[in-house]
Amino acid sequence: ILNVEQSPQSLHVQEGDSTNFTCSFPSSNFYALHWYRWETAKSPEALFVMTLNGDEKKKGRISATLNTKEGYSYLYIKGSQPEDSATYLCASSTGNQFYFGTGTSLTVIP
């Protein structure tokens, strides 16, 4: 069992603010790191999958970085909008299993 941790647990930001949160995972036997965005009453939406140390991925105003040597990934949101309000989940995967953190709940206040 992999212990994946996310921080903070929840976050409230003003519209237009930039924000970031962290996913920590065991650095030994690392294979891949996945980020999902999960809006209430909807399906989790895949954002990024990263495998290589130093990977950076970007999708619109959202970007992510990966440090496999120290076992963490950052997710950044630039200029937060109310529609960014969601829970952001990360998962470390080995073979067929995804090990999820408990998520960061983001609320963007208009």
Partner 1 sequence: ETGVTQSPTHLIKTRGQQVTLRCSSQSGHNTVSWYQQALGQGPQFIFQYYREEENGRGNFPPRFSGLQFPNYSSELNVNALELDDSALYLCASSARITGPQETQYFGPGTRLLVL
Q: Which residues bind partner 1 (CB under 8 A)?
A: 1, 4, 31-32, 34, 36, 41-44, 46, 49, 51, 89, 91, 93-103
The nearest distance, CB 78 to partner 1, in angstroms, is: 23
The residue (of 19 and 93) whose beta carbon lies closer to partner 1 is 93
**Is 78 or 100 the residue whose CB approaches partner 1 more closely?**
100
- Quickly list DSSP for 65-90: EEETTTTEEEEEESS--GGG-EEEEE
Instruction: Identify which of residues 91 and 106 has a Cβ nearer to partner 1 in the complex.
Output: 91
- What type of residue is 85? S
φ/ψ region of 95 (left if φ > 0, alpha if ψ in -120 to 50, else beta) reads: left
DSSP state, residue 28 = T
